Amino acid sequence: MTSTTSVTHEQIESLSKEIEAHSNPFRELIAEVGNTIVGQEVLIHRMLVGLLANGHLLIEGVPGLAKTTAVACLAKGIQTDFQRLQFTPDLLPADLIGTLIYRPQDQEFVVQKGPIFSNIILADEINRAPAKVQSALLEAMQERQVTIGSHTYPLDEPFLVMATQNPVEQEGTYPLPEAQMDRFMLKVVVNYPNRDQELEILERMSTTNPQIATKAVTSPAEILGARKLVDRIYVDRKVQEYIVDLVIATREPKAYGLALEEFIQYGASPRATINLTLAAKANAFLHGRGHVLPADVKEIALDVLRHRVILTYEAEAEEKTSEDIVRTIMDAVPVP
């Protein structure tokens, strides 16, 4: 269901009722993960958006903010396979995707599949691995398949990569190139909890053996079914134009009355337009609606665009961040 087809109010209402019923397990999943993770509501919500929109997440935050625990809780709540990969400078592509092993007794090579063959992958500190390993992971993310020797193996669906990186420590790291950053649907910045949340963390987790007590509330099959509903969610022409305006404003800010040309080296690509639309649809799904509101777009736009706007040296000299630029654009582009 798209805006180019003639969609009646009754059809949208019918779809909304269907989505309301099917989105309940996902709202339960958010609550279930929230029972273990304190104060990371945005991260938990964005993980569900990525899962429903078939997109990957780049999670940035200092150590100790429960990024790994949040991903582990999500996997438990879905009752699916989960692999945590610690990226290090000596990691090889074969350590990730697998390799061919020779068996002398059979005089033949057999495939030894790597940990990438899982539903949910946590790529911990992705910027610690060299470019070859990063490329192997990003190829799997984009193509949803892995080539070992002369054979290509499809990855199981749903397949979701959540990569973390530490913004503080830069020594011994290999920063992701801009073209590879663009493969991530969302970049989520995880911040410190507030005082009340910190007290709750203290009460809940200050034991010698803290437990992850997340129970399974949905399944991979339900996720794949939910994605079909996400595809049917209606996006009005005016909302589509709003999405396109937000993206084009990162390339041509002058056309929107913004004096930002000297700060932007490259704007967001058409992939950003597609990802913003899908993420807004997933957001509408989680709210139990069969249509996208401008508020769905605005809520998710910063996470879709912040890693796609490449700044100039002038912006860095004036200590402007891509987040500042995106916020300025979002304030300036009129909401329908």
Contact 200, 38 (CB under 8 A): yes
Say if residue 222 is in the same domain as residue 256: no
CATH number at residue 316: 1.10.8.80
Same-domain pairing of 172 and 294: no
**Do 292 and 303 belong to one domain?**
yes
Look-up: residue for tokens 């958010």? 30
Say if residue 28 is in the same domain as residue 110. yes
Judge if 188 and 40 occupy the same domain: yes
Six-digit token string for 277: 């639309």
Parallel, antiparallel, or unpaired: how do β-strands 145-148 and 264-266 relate?
A: unpaired
Same domain for 248 and 142, yes or no, is no
| CA 173 from centroid of its chain's CA atoms | 22
| Residue 331 is assigned to a structural domain of this protein | yes
Does residue 7 lie in a domain region? no
Domain assignment present for 262: yes
In a domain, 18, yes or no: no
Indicate the range of 140-154, 200-214, 218-232 predicted with least confidence.
200-214
For residue 230, what pLDDT is reported?
Answer: 92
Are residue 65 and residue 180 in the same domain, yes or no? yes
Per DSSP, the residues of 158-191 read S-EEEEEE-SS--TT--PPPHHHHTT-SEEEE--
Say how many domains are in the chain. 2
Range of the domain at 35: 24-205+216-232
Residues 152 and 185 in one domain: yes
The answer to whether residues 55 and 197 belong to one domain is yes
Residue 252 makes CB contacts below 8 A (sequence gap 6+) with 267
How far, in Å, CA of 175 to CA of 137, rounded? 14
The phi and psi torsions of 110 (rounded to 5 degrees) equal -120, 155
Considering the domain boundaries, does residue 159 fall inside one? yes
The domain boundary, picked from 232, 267, 295, lies at: 232
The answer as to whether 302 is a domain residue is: yes
- Mean pLDDT score, 85-104: 85
Cis status of the peptide bond prior to 158, with omega within 30 of 0? yes
d(CA 186, CA 280): 12
136: pLDDT strictly greater than 70: yes
CA distances in angstroms from 96 to 93, 177, 178, 331, listed in the order given: 5, 20, 22, 42
With CA atoms as reference, report the closest residue to 139 among 125, 159, 113: 159
Both 103 and 222 in a single domain?
yes
pLDDT tier for residue 3 given thresholds of 50, 70 and 90: very low
Residues 6+ apart with CB under 8 A from 293: 239, 284
pTM higher than the cut 0.85: yes
Cα distance between residue 108 and residue 201, in whole Å: 53
How many CB atoms within 10 Å of residue 126? 27
Same-domain status, 144 and 56: yes
Alpha carbon 188 to its chain's center: 8
Confidence of residue 6 (pLDDT cuts 50, 70, 90): low
Q: Which of 101-110, 113-122, 299-308 has the highest mean pLDDT?
A: 299-308
Instruction: State the pLDDT at residue 278.
Output: 95
Q: Is residue 102 part of a domain?
A: yes
The answer to the question of residue 184 being in a domain is yes
What number of residues does the chain have?
A: 336
Question: Do 149 and 159 lie in a common domain?
Answer: yes
